[in-house]
């Protein structure tokens, strides 16, 4: 699940990325009768709202066309440029890299589903800054 930092730079350039191993496609749900995060996120485009370290944001995600993985963008309420994201999901865990300029990785998200939320840690590209994040599932 953990990929070498910077590996998705090419993904952000072309908004395409690495294929997920086929074994991930059948990842079980964390709770009986509940769709896994992978099933929720890979099913169709979604708009999620949440926060990074208390700062409100909106994240739009969609499955990549003709590939496994996710792509999208987010912005902070109150004014901010859109930030591109691309990543992958396995069961109830996900990892995404982001790019402010569309070329260089500016941050990484690592999260896990907890009920109707995704919680985890956002970190700067060099790992020197980390902040908690939470996203609400629809």
- Each residue of 40-68: pLDDT tens digit? 888 889 999 999 999 999 999 999 988 88
Q: Which pair of structure tokens corresponds to residue 65?
A: 């066309």
Q: Which pair of structure tokens corresponds to residue 48?
A: 């999620």
pTM of the full structure? 0.73
Which domains does the chain carry?
38-136 (2.40.128.120)
Q: Which pair of structure tokens corresponds to residue 28?
A: 């079980």
First to last CA, the chain: 24
Compute the distance between CA of residue 96 and CA of residue 103 in angstroms, rounded to an integer: 15
Residue 67 confidence (pLDDT): 81
Concatenating the DSSP letter of every residue in 15-35 gives: T--PPPPGGGGGPPPSSTTS-
Residue 45 confidence (pLDDT): 92
DSSP 8-state symbol, 31:
S
Kindly indicate the confidence band of residue 33, based on its pLDDT and cuts at 50, 70 and 90.
low
Q: Which pair of structure tokens corresponds to residue 37?
A: 């995060």
- Residue 73: helix, strand or coil by DSSP? strand
Compute the distance between CA of residue 75 and CA of residue 46 in angstroms, rounded to an integer: 14
């Amino acid at each position: 699940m953990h990929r070498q930092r910077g590996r998705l730079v090419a993904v952000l350039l072309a908004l395409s990325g690495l294929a997920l191993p086929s074994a991930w496609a059948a990842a079980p749900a964390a709770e009986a009768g509940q769709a896994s995060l992978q099933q929720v996120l890979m099913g169709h485009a979604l708009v999620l709202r949440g926060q990074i370290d208390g700062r409100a944001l909106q994240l739009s995600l969609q499955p990549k066309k003709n590939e496994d993985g996710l792509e999208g963008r987010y912005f902070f309420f109150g004014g901010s440029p859109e930030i591109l994201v691309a990543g992958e999901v396995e069961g109830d865990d996900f990892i995404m890299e982001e790019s402010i300029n569309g070329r260089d990785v500016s941050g990484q998200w690592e999260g896990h589903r907890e009920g109707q939320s995704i919680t985890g840690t956002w970190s700067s590209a060099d790992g020197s800054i980390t902040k908690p994040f939470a996203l609400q599932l629809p």
